[in-house]
């Protein structure tokens, strides 16, 4: 059994950022979350990725659509937090200003 569908599917939420690495290099990144889908009566999955930063993740599994979605967002939060802790900066894709962890919390509802 594959850990993710071949196609991402319907995107239900997205945010645009620019990641600035500790060496100064910059990379546009699209944080996107897909619509959760049913695997079985007791398992759902939710596609998620930080496109432009890392390869697409396996679809995140949960007991229902809410759990799968919540876990997918939690993964994104952890990846952003790790990137910042390692000296990177997350820049707002529109304004270009640096986002703090608190800024990102408001976007991701953490």
Considering the domain boundaries, does residue 34 fall inside one? yes
Considering the domain boundaries, does residue 3 fall inside one? no
Considering the domain boundaries, does residue 57 fall inside one? yes
Total number of domains constituting the chain: 1
Distance CA 20, CA 84 (A): 10
Q: What's the pLDDT score for residue 103? A: 80
By residue range, what is the domain housing residue 60?
A: 11-108
Considering the domain boundaries, does residue 82 fall inside one? yes
In the chain, beta strands by DSSP E: 11-20, 26-34, 37-40, 43-46, 48-51, 60-62, 89-92, 98-99
Give the helix, strand, coil percentages of the chain, each rounded to 5.
25, 35, 35
pLDDT tens, residue by residue, 1-54: 577 788 999 999 999 999 999 999 999 999 999 999 999 999 999 999 999 999
* 86: three-class secondary structure by DSSP: coil
Cβ 37 vs Cβ 9: under 8 Å: yes
Q: What's the pLDDT score for residue 93? A: 74
Q: What's the pLDDT score for residue 109? A: 63
Distance CA 34, CA 71 (A): 12
For 16, other C-beta atoms within 10 Å of its C-beta total: 14
Q: How would residue 102 be classed by pLDDT, with cut points 50, 70 and 90? A: confident
Considering the domain boundaries, does residue 5 fall inside one? no
Q: What's the pLDDT score for residue 28? A: 96
Q: What's the pLDDT score for residue 110? A: 54
Considering the domain boundaries, does residue 6 fall inside one? no
Considering the domain boundaries, does residue 81 fall inside one? yes
pLDDT tens, residue by residue, 47-82: 999 999 999 999 999 999 999 999 999 999 999 999
Q: What is the value of pTM for the model shown?
A: 0.87
């Amino acid at each position: 059994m594959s850990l993710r569908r071949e196609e991402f599917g319907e995107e239900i939420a997205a945010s645009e950022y620019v990641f600035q690495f500790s060496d100064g290099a910059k990379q546009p990144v699209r944080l996107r979350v897909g619509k959760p889908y049913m695997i079985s009566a007791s398992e759902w999955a939710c596609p998620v990725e930080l496109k432009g930063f890392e390869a697409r993740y396996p679809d995140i599994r949960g007991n229902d659509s809410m759990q799968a979605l919540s876990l997918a967002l939690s993964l994104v939060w952890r990846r952003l937090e790790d990137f910042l802790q390692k000296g990177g900066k997350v820049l707002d894709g529109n304004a270009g200003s640096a986002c703090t962890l608190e800024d990102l919390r408001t976007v991701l509802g953490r």
